[in-house]
């Protein structure tokens, strides 16, 4: 049993606020964070989003980072979330020998690049932000803030980035390359991807309605979340109480289309099935699926088909929490991992807000109200552009 991987810390920031407690309170109160745009400068101010309710300056103050220090919003949110996870896992007090930091992000420093792009090309007034543009730059900023990591890398697989970061971290520990890993993702909103998703015509002008026949697209959100992973034995030796077990995970590729999922949900099917196999669990063992459920026509239909293919008659309670947080893209996998673990610890099924009616030709429907339920195993899904499909399972410590 010593090979068992456990989660010993977690931290989150999203539209729901800073920290696990704020997140749990909002979930139980069924309080959506999707609303009018506050920070991002765009002509599309009729598009609802879920922004982290702190300015960059406010986050710098929280973190004792000097106002003049050059750091973009994505790593700032990342540091806030990682700090909570690191403190809970007592990584500073009782440091594991080698710690990895595996970070998922896709937009990187784009929120500054899009402001200063003309300057980058034509003058030298903001050239200091050129080096902050790539995805890895923010990862290094986060790693340097804590100064405790022995390995760092950045995953960039769009909306499945954070679960993939979890997979990489878990494998690094299993292979004996590191003793613990801080894994997850961070992504701030940018005018770039707000416009990108808008051109795809998949942004709902109201709060999103995942898995509902009348769904009209997704809401973008921003956020960051991280988990601390280590072997159960190491956690015991460090005197840290595990929150849960990471019992299985898998990633597969749909290999169908750059932005659409195959009609039979092959990639999502393989990811869920793979995670079950990895965990040595059967479909009937899963008590709740935290679905990807973006609210787009294509995702929710194909995910439902894939869930039915995997679980059949035994489809457990499932819901999408995207109407709470918006779609936090590269952070979604870890934000929703934190939500899954909160549900596991507190024995409840989060509500799928705004559900009106079952999707045509689909036989399953989500859990629409917060519901008390004894939980043992929870599955969390994240699917990204390019058919990048990942799934993981968290289990109560037996």
Partner 1 sequence: MVAMTLLVYSQKFNNMEIFIQSAAQISIQNPLCEDWFENPIIPTLPYNRSIEPDYKQFISPIASRRMGKLIKRAIATSLSALKQAEIQELDAIITGTGLGCVENTEKFLSAMVKEGEEFLQPTFFMQSTHNTISSQVALFLKCNGYNCTYSHRGTSFESALSDAFIQMKLGKIKNALVSGQDEMTPDYFNMLGKIGYWKNEISTDILRNSNTNGSFAGECSAAITLATEPKEQSLCKLQDIELLYKPSKERMQQAITNLMEQANISSIDAIMLGLSGDKKNDDIYKEFAQTFFADKPICWYKNIFGESFTAPSFGVYTAATCLKRGIVPQHLCYNGQNIQDIRTILVYNHFQNKDHSLILLSKC
User: Interaction with partner 1 in 156-185: which residues (CB under 8 A)?
Assistant: 156-158, 164, 168, 171-172, 174-175, 177
Nearer to partner 1, 105 or 212 (CB): 105
**Site membership for partner 1, residue 259 (CB under 8 A):** yes
Structure tokens at 96: 């594991």
Interatomic CA distance for residues 241 and 296, integer angstroms: 39
Q: What is the DSSP letter of 359?
A: P
Which range in 82-90, 139-147, 213-221, 314-322 contacts partner 1 by CB under 8 A? 139-147
Give the distance, in angstroms, between the CA of residue 85 and the centroid of all CA atoms in the same chain. 14
Which range in 132-140, 207-215, 219-227, 373-381 contacts partner 1 by CB under 8 A? 132-140
Residue 331: Cβ-neighbour burial (10 angstroms; 0-12, 13-18, 19+): buried
**Site membership for partner 1, residue 258 (CB under 8 A):** yes
Cβ 54 to partner 1 shortest distance, Å: 25
Q: Which of residues 366-385 bind partner 1 (CB under 8 A)?
A: 384-385
- Judged by CB under 8 A, the residue of 30, 62, 192, 358 near partner 1 is 192
**Site membership for partner 1, residue 113 (CB under 8 A):** yes
CA end-to-end distance (rounded Å), the chain: 11
In 3D space, the residue among 97, 95, 245 whose CA is nearest the CA of residue 176 turns out to be: 97
Which range in 10-18, 198-206, 222-230, 332-340 contacts partner 1 by CB under 8 A? 198-206
Cβ 197 to partner 1 shortest distance, Å: 8
Cβ 48 to partner 1 shortest distance, Å: 17
Structure tokens at 25: 């309170």
Nearer to partner 1, 321 or 380 (CB): 380
In 3D space, the residue among 202, 207, 246 whose CA is nearest the CA of residue 228 turns out to be: 246
Q: Which of residues 2-41 bind partner 1 (CB under 8 A)?
A: 2-3
Interatomic CA distance for residues 260 and 394, integer angstroms: 28
Q: Which of residues 302-321 bind partner 1 (CB under 8 A)?
A: none
**Site membership for partner 1, residue 270 (CB under 8 A):** yes
Interatomic CA distance for residues 351 and 220, integer angstroms: 19
**Site membership for partner 1, residue 64 (CB under 8 A):** no
Torsion of CA 233, 237, 242, 244, to 10 degrees: 0
């Amino acid at each position: 049993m010593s090979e068992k991987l456990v989660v010993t810390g977690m931290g989150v920031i999203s539209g729901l606020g800073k920290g696990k407690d704020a997140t749990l309170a909002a979930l139980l109160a069924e309080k959506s964070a999707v609303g009018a745009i506050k920070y991002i400068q765009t002509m599309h101010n009729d598009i609802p989003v879920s922004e982290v309710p702190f300015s960059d300056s406010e986050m710098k103050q929280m973190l004792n980072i000097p106002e003049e220090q050059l750091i973009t919003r994505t790593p700032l949110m990342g540091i806030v979330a990682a700090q909570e996870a690191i403190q809970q896992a007592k990584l500073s007090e009782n440091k594991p020998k080698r710690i990895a930091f595996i970070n998922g992000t896709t937009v990187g420093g784009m929120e500054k690049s899009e402001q200063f792009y003309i300057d980058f090309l034509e003058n030298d007034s903001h050239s200091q932000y050129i080096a902050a543009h790539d995805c890895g730059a923010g990862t290094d900023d986060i790693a340097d803030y804590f100064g405790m990591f022995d390995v760092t890398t950045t995953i960039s697989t769009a909306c499945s980035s954070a679960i993939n970061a979890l997979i990489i971290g878990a494998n690094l520990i299993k292979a004996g390359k590191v003793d613990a890993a801080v894994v997850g993702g961070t992504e701030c909103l940018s005018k770039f991807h707000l416009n990108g998703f808008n051109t795809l015509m998949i942004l709902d002008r109201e709060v999103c309605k995942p898995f509902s026949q009348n769904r009209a697209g997704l809401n973008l959100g921003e956020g960051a979340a991280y988990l601390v992973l280590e072997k159960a034995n190491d956690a015991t030796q460090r005197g840290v109480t595990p929150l849960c077990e990471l019992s299985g995970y898998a990633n597969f590729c749909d290999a169908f289309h750059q932005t659409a999922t195959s009609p039979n949900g092959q990639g999502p099917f393989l990811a869920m099935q793979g995670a079950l196999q990895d965990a040595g669990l059967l479909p009937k063992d899963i008590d709740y699926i935290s679905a990807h459920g973006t609210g787009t026509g294509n995702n929710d239909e194909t995910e439902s088909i894939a869930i039915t293919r995997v679980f059949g008659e035994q489809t457990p309670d499932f819901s999408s929490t995207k109407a709470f947080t918006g779609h936090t893209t590269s952070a979604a996998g870890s934000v929703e991992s934190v939500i899954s673990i909160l549900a596991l610890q507190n024995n409840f099924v989060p509500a799928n807000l705004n559900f009106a009616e079952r999707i045509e030709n689909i036989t399953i429907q989500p859990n629409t109200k917060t519901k008390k339920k004894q939980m043992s195993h929870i599955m969390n899904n994240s699917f990204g552009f390019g058919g990048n499909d990942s799934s993981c399972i968290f289990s109560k410590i037996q």
